[in-house]
Amino acid sequence: MLIEAVKLENSPEAGAEPERRVRDRGATERAILAAAKSLLAEEGFQNFGINAVARRAGCDKQLIYRYYGGLDGLVEAIGADLGTWVRDRIPEDTGGMFLLTYGDLMERLALLLLDALKNDPLMRRILAWEISDNTEQVRRLSEARSKALALWLERMRGSLAPPKGMDAAAVNAIVIAAIQHLVLAGAAGGQCAGLSLKTPKDWEKAALALKRIVRGVYG
């Protein structure tokens, strides 16, 4: 278990093998990062501190300074982890779908993003902070997520181009904003503008509407 590895890291036995110490350090770093992410998702930045993260990870707080350089370094690590989140939750394979047009690409991105965000409490927290908490820490997390999404789109689109005369950047921003508001409203109150967002069938209805909007714009 991660906590057991953290305990080993806190009190290594004399003469322990170097390979074991390296492995324990890696487990400790992962435990700290996981604790920091879960704490942020549940309580936000208000209760986010070295002591709170150390308690949740079950480690000495000095290890956070040693491995991450303190709270700012830990936030940077969470931001870097958002790039992994994009790769894991919004894969670059086509899932059997043929991407023949820019509309195909944006439909796939929209549906994957909707599904990923509605199932990730930390990412929803970050989205909410973007419009309510203009701090340096929030900006760093938001920029990391936005950069990872932009890189995904750049890699995936290849030679695919939006229709001529279309301001794709503006349209995509509005589509993504709509997706983000849907997941935030669904998590907060189970509905958005009268559309119920409580059951899988409700979300299927929202996804279908989203597809129609994207196709209406891009064809």
143 vs 172, residue with greater confidence: 172
Domains contained in the chain, number: 2
Mean of the pLDDT values across residues 32-57? Answer: 90
Question: Does any domain span residue 126?
Answer: yes
Question: Does any domain span residue 79?
Answer: no
Q: How many angstroms separate the CA atoms of 108 and 40, rounded?
A: 29
Give the confidence band of 23 by pLDDT, cuts at 50, 70, 90: low
Question: Does any domain span residue 211?
Answer: yes
Average pLDDT, the chain: 84
Question: Does any domain span residue 14?
Answer: no
Asked if residue 167 has pLDDT above 90, the reply is: yes
Question: Does any domain span residue 119?
Answer: yes
The percent of residues above 70 in pLDDT, for the chain, comes to 87
CA 175 to chain CA centroid, Å, is 18
pLDDT at 155: 85
62 vs 128, residue with greater confidence: 62
Q: Does 55 lie in the same domain as 101?
A: no
Give the confidence band of 7 by pLDDT, cuts at 50, 70, 90: very low
CA 80 to chain CA centroid, Å, is 10
Q: Does 103 lie in the same domain as 26?
A: no
Task: Pick the closest to residue 148 from 213, 90, 68, 209 (CA basis).
Answer: 90
Range picked from 79-83, 149-153, 209-213 for highest mean pLDDT: 209-213
Question: Does any domain span residue 144?
Answer: yes
pLDDT at 94: 60
pLDDT at 1: 40
Answer whether 114's CB lies under 8 Å from 181's CB: no
14 vs 180, residue with greater confidence: 180
pTM of the model: 0.75
**Domain range holding 101?**
87-218
Mean of the pLDDT values across residues 109-113? Answer: 92
Helix (H) or strand (E) holding 196: strand 195-196
Asked if residue 50 has pLDDT above 80, the reply is: yes
For the stretch 176-186, pLDDT in tens is: 999 999 999 99
Q: How many angstroms separate the CA atoms of 58 and 54, rounded?
A: 6
